[in-house]
């Protein structure tokens, strides 16, 4: 089974190279998906999220930012790291900080970029949460993290108040232990 996964990953990376792609964007992922289906038929079908995951894992940046936003791009590098609940909370706090700064500066493109990163984080967490080969406890944790990303996207102003209540709830403590 792992050889098959490696084979799909290799096919994705080969298609990215053949297409001359340098960024992990949804549009690039769609190009790769089309190429794989054209080359391999039904065996070439992969999800957009999986393609983005493979590209990100191979070091493709999550898109180049034009003009003055290029400098801000460094702030986004390696932002989506959330192997644990604590890391997910730090990630969301950083996203929230960036969102507020860019809103205050009136930089709508950067605000959109922050929100897109949060959507990507949610998709990554869901991808792991839905993978039956991942341990049940890790899937449960990733499902919780995906929920956090979704709630932050829906209402960033109330999110951290909600999160404190959530972490102190008996349900959360039963599932994940006491927050420290």
Structure tokens at 133: 């080969």
The predicted pLDDT at position 169 comes to: 95
pLDDT in tens, the chain (180 residues): 344 445 888 999 998 888 888 888 877 887 888 888 888 888 888 888 888 888 888 888 876 444 444 444 555 666 788 889 999 999 999 999 999 999 999 988 889 989 988 998 999 999 999 999 999 999 999 999 999 999 999 999 999 999 999 999 999 999 998 765
Predicted TM-score (pTM) of the model is 0.62
The predicted pLDDT at position 152 comes to: 98
Query: Positive or negative CA dihedral for 141, 147, 149, 151?
Result: negative
Structure tokens at 83: 């192997």
Structure tokens at 4: 């098959």
The predicted pLDDT at position 69 comes to: 43
Please tell me the distance from the alpha carbon of residue 101 to that of residue 63, in angstroms, as a whole number: 20
The predicted pLDDT at position 30 comes to: 79
What CA dihedral angle connects 111, 117, 146 and 16, to 10 degrees? 150
């Amino acid at each position: 089974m792992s050889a098959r996964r490696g084979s799909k990953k290799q096919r994705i990376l080969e298609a990215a190279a053949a297409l001359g792609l340098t960024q992990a964007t949804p549009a690039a992922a769609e190009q790769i998906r089309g190429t794989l289906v054209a080359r391999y038929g039904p065996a070439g079908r992969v999800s957009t999220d999986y393609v983005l995951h493979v590209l990100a894992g191979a070091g493709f940046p999550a898109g180049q930012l034009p003009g003055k936003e290029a400098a801000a791009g460094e702030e986004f590098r390696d932002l989506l790291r959330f192997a644990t609940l604590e890391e997910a909370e730090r990630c969301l706090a950083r996203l929230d900080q960036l969102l507020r700064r860019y809103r205050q500066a009136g930089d709508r493109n950067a605000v959109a970029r922050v929100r897109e990163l949060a959507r990507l984080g949610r998709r990554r967490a869901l991808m792991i949460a839905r993978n039956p080969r991942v341990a049940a406890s890790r899937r449960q944790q990733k499902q919780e993290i995906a929920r956090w990303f979704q709630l932050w996207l829906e209402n960033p102003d109330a999110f951290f108040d909600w999160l404190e209540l959530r972490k102190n709830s008996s349900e959360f403590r039963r599932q994940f232990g006491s927050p420290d």
